[in-house]
Chain A
Amino acid sequence: MTLTVPATRRILYQRPAALAEKSTHYCPGCGHGIIHRLIAELFDELELAERTIAVAPVGCAVFAYDYLEVDWIESPHGRAPAVATGVRRTNPDRFVLAYQGDGDLAAIGTAEIVHAAARGERFTTVFVNNGIYGMTGGQMAPTTLLGQKTTSSPLGRDASRDGFPIPITEMLALLPGVTYAARGTLVDPSSIGKAKAMLKRAMQVQLAGGGFSIVEILSNCPVGWGMTAPESMAHLAQVAKTYPIGVLVDRMKG
């Protein structure tokens, strides 16, 4: 797509080239759209698109390969860190990105993410945490908050029956193989900017030859949460009380 821009007009922002110009299947206001856009902006800024091999999850973002213009490999549910490991070990000079949701990463894929992190695998994981299983109709996730109502916790998550939410990124940050672990949020424009900075740092860690890097981004699910998109974004302030925002570890700093 080319814009004809007269000389008097300077573009401050436009859709990144690495983002396919198509309408996405994501619900109106879904954070996946924002996160895809941030990644695409960074692909443009860091000139990564032609070097990237990305691994797609199972979840709402299963179609990520339709939206970000890089090579993509579909992964079975939860196995993205293992798939990314296979990619990284045999393609040392490529940029490797794994994109996962909370079910993919913290439920069925818990072993894979822990061991990829323990091995210090040099790829970057984007972990989209919206505390729910969107694709399959809004069931409880390992990161669902206590008291949160979902289709498989209709009376609200109850610790005695359903256990406690898992702060998986804190757990991963303990491992020496994890060079960078951070948690951002989409709650407001400023936070979106900070989340992008975290993604950039994670990518730079990989490019500099560091170990495992992960950015968890607190995101929304308007339909699953039964809220409007703006309400669901505002709700992220509540979510952040369970999952604090910030850089958990940066072992490459200084």
Chain B
Amino acid sequence: MEVSPQMTVPSTIEGPSGAVGRVLTPVTTSEPGIDDGWRPLDIASERCKGCELCITACPHHVLALDERVVNRLGYHPVQLTDAAGCTSCVICARVCPDAVFTIYAPRKAVRA
């Protein structure tokens, strides 16, 4: 997956014990042959607690825990497994107790 520099979110996050985290480089996606940096969502992985409410709620089943990663809070954060399958329905953001999601308009809507 390509990582575009303009996608890095310049913020620090404070946990309850004052721990400072930096948002992980967000997930990006690009359709084959088109690289304009679009992606359906960002995840503030450092604040995700791996509760899996979004995974259960996602109607397209494109979210899963990233078991390769343990974040600063000690959880496997959620990740987008199939960007093309995400329709930006915002359901994951609606159920998330930690407000980790930023959702972007789908490509089709943007192009029109």
Q: Spell out A's residues near B (CB within 8 Å).
A: 1-4, 6, 8-16, 19, 21-34, 37, 40, 63, 66, 188-189, 192-193, 222, 228-230, 233
Distance in Å: Cβ of B34 to nearest Cβ of chain A: 11
B14 at the interface (CB under 8 A from A): yes
Out of B16, B36, B53, B104, name the residue touching A23 (CB < 8 Å): B16
Instruction: Closest B residue to A38 by CB, please name it.
Output: B94
CA of A184 to CA of B19, assembled, Å? 35
Which chain B residues lie closer than 8 Å to A19 at the CB level?
A: 99
Which of A11, A34, A66 interacts with B104 by CB under 8 Å? A11
Q: Does B51 touch A at the CB level, under 8 Å?
A: yes
**Which residues of chain A have C-beta atoms less than 8 A from B16's C-beta?**
22-25, 63, 66
Chain A residues contacting B57 (CB-CB under 8 Å) are: 188-189
B69 within 8 A of A: no
In the bound complex, do residue A21 and residue B90 qualify as a contact, i.e. CB atoms below 8 Å apart?
no
Task: Give, as a whole number of angstroms, the nearest-CB distance from B95 to chain A.
Answer: 6
Interface size on B, residues (CB 8 A): 46
Q: Does A28 contact B104, Cβ atoms closer than 8 Å?
A: no
Minimum distance in angstroms from A216 CB to a CB of chain B: 18
Contact with A along B89-112 (1 / 0, CB 8 A): 011011111111111110001100
Q: How far is the CA of A101 from the CA of B5 in the complex (A)?
A: 44
Say yes or no: A233 contacts B110, CB within 8 Å.
no
Whether the Cβ atoms of A230 and B52 lie closer than 8 Å is yes
B68 to A: closest C-beta gap in Å: 19
Question: For the complex, what is the distance from the CA of A194 to the CA of B42, rounded to whole Å?
Answer: 25
* Given known A-B contacts A23-B14, A34-B96, A34-B97, A28 and B51 have beta carbons under 8 A apart: yes
Can you list 8 A-B contacts (CB < 8 A)?
A10-B110, A11-B102, A13-B90, A13-B101, A25-B16, A28-B50, A30-B97, A233-B95
CB distance from A210 to the nearest CB of B (A): 28
Contacts from B to A (Cβ < 8 Å): 6-7, 9-11, 13-16, 19, 21, 36-38, 42, 44, 46-47, 49-53, 55-57, 73, 75, 88, 90-91, 93-105, 109-110
Shortest distance in angstroms between B64's beta carbon and chain A's nearest beta carbon? 13
Q: Contact: A2 with B10, CB < 8 Å?
A: yes
Q: Once the chains bind, are A192 and B94 in contact (CB under 8 Å)?
A: yes
User: B50 touching A12 by the CB < 8 A rule?
Assistant: no
A231 nearest in chain B by CB position: B56
Least CB separation from A186: chain B residue? B95
Asked if A6 and B37 make an inter-chain contact with CB atoms under 8 angstroms apart, the answer reads yes
Give chain B nearest CB distance to A11 CB in angstroms. Answer: 6
Contact of A37 among B37, B55, B56, B99 (CB under 8 A): B99
Question: 15 other contacts beyond A10-B110, A24-B97, with CB at 8 A cut-off?
Answer: A6-B36, A8-B38, A9-B110, A11-B103, A11-B105, A13-B90, A13-B102, A16-B99, A21-B14, A23-B16, A26-B97, A28-B75, A29-B52, A29-B97, A32-B97
Q: Evaluate contact between B51 and A229: CB separation under 8 angstroms.
A: yes
CB–CB B102/A31 < 8 A? no
Interface centre among A11, A23, A228 (most CB of B within 10 A): A23
Which of chain A's residues have a CB closer than 8 A to the CB of B52?
Answer: 29, 228-230
Contacts of A193 in B (CB 8 A): 94
Q: B88's contact among A3, A12, A27, A66, by CB below 8 Å, is which? A: A12
> CB-CB < 8 A to B103: which residues of A?
11-14
Please measure, in the bound complex, the distance between the C-alpha atom of A40 and the C-alpha atom of B93, giving whole angstroms.
Answer: 14
CA distance A193 to B53 in the complex (A): 15
